[in-house]
A = this chain, B = another copy of it.
């Protein structure tokens, strides 16, 4: 698909939404995402400049406005819990967004599940080959070391359990340490499982070693690559994280 050159001429919001729905079809979303994907905050109708991000943080919103963005494409909705009042941090954030006319568009579990989406982009970054899809995420042949994984993800890695070599690595971007998916990975020959936000009880039940990175490290590449592909701008806002071992 050709690039959308924002400097030449504006597009209608509807045109851009159709492109985004092609990338992350809404019907791929999980039921709990009902009402939480697509156009979440409606601003201007004409779109000249597009930004992407993982989370709609105050830092991201201010950067988008400073860059005169008309549309911010995010992975996580800024309104997860349904609102009956707009106050506190929400009031500040929504006031900035609405005052500037910035549109916010979210692609979440539909982007996780999409071909070429969150998990496929992560697999590319790690150089996985011979991939097999799982109910969420995928298993692929891994030819890099743990050190290299850590470097490519720009985030610390915790290795839980007795690690031998990795030949087949299962990956689920985001919070994917689900015991049923881990068993699925094991049946598909995985000898390690990479995701984020491991719970103790899941570790205790896992038949294979678990590699715990961070939510941001695993999901944000998909929003960066999306921006690069279309000539948009990705706004990075990673968590500050230090490790004492």
Q: Which of A38, A86, A196 has the most CB of B within 10 A?
A: A86
Q: B residues within 8 A CB of A84?
A: 35-36, 40, 77, 79-80, 82-83
Question: 1/0 per position for A185-219, CB-CB distance to B under 8 A?
Answer: 00000000000111111011100000000111000
Cβ-defined contact, B80 with A82, below 8 A: no
Nearest CB on B from A169, distance (A): 15
Instruction: Report how many residues on chain A are interfacial, defined by Cβ distance under 8 Å.
Output: 59
Inter-chain CA distance A82–B86, complex, in Å, is: 11
Inter-chain CA distance A35–B57, complex, in Å, is: 24
Question: Does any Cβ of B come within 8 Å of A87's Cβ?
Answer: yes
Look across to chain B and name the residue whose beta carbon is closest to the beta carbon of A41. B86
Cβ-defined contact, B86 with A91, below 8 A: no
Look across to chain B and name the residue whose beta carbon is closest to the beta carbon of A80. B201
Nearest CB on B from A90, distance (A): 8
Question: Does any Cβ of B come within 8 Å of A243's Cβ?
Answer: yes
Q: B residues within 8 A CB of A158?
A: 156, 241-244
Given the interface pairs A175-B199, A243-B243, the reply to whether A83 lies near B82 with Cβ below 8 Å is yes
Question: 1/0 per position for A16-51, CB-CB distance to B under 8 A?
Answer: 000000000000000000011011111100000000
Cβ-defined contact, B200 with A215, below 8 A: yes
Those of A122-177 within 8 Å (CB) of chain B: 146-147, 149-150, 156-163, 175
Look across to chain B and name the residue whose beta carbon is closest to the beta carbon of A242. B159
Q: B residues within 8 A CB of A98?
A: 86, 91, 94-95, 98-99
Question: Does any Cβ of B come within 8 Å of A11's Cβ?
Answer: no
Those of A88-115 within 8 Å (CB) of chain B: 88-89, 91, 94-95, 98-99
CB contact between A99 and one of B35, B95, B163 (< 8 Å): that residue = B95
- 6 of the cross-chain contacts (CB-CB < 8 Å) are A41-B86, A95-B98, A158-B244, A160-B241, A197-B198, A243-B245
Taking beta carbons and an 8 Å cutoff, which residues of A are in contact with B? 35-36, 38-43, 55, 57, 76-77, 79-80, 82-89, 91, 94-95, 98-99, 146-147, 149-150, 156-163, 175, 196-201, 203-205, 214-216, 239-245
9 closest A-B pairs by CB: A82-B82, A200-B215, A42-B87, A95-B98, A35-B84, A156-B245, A42-B91, A150-B244, A157-B244
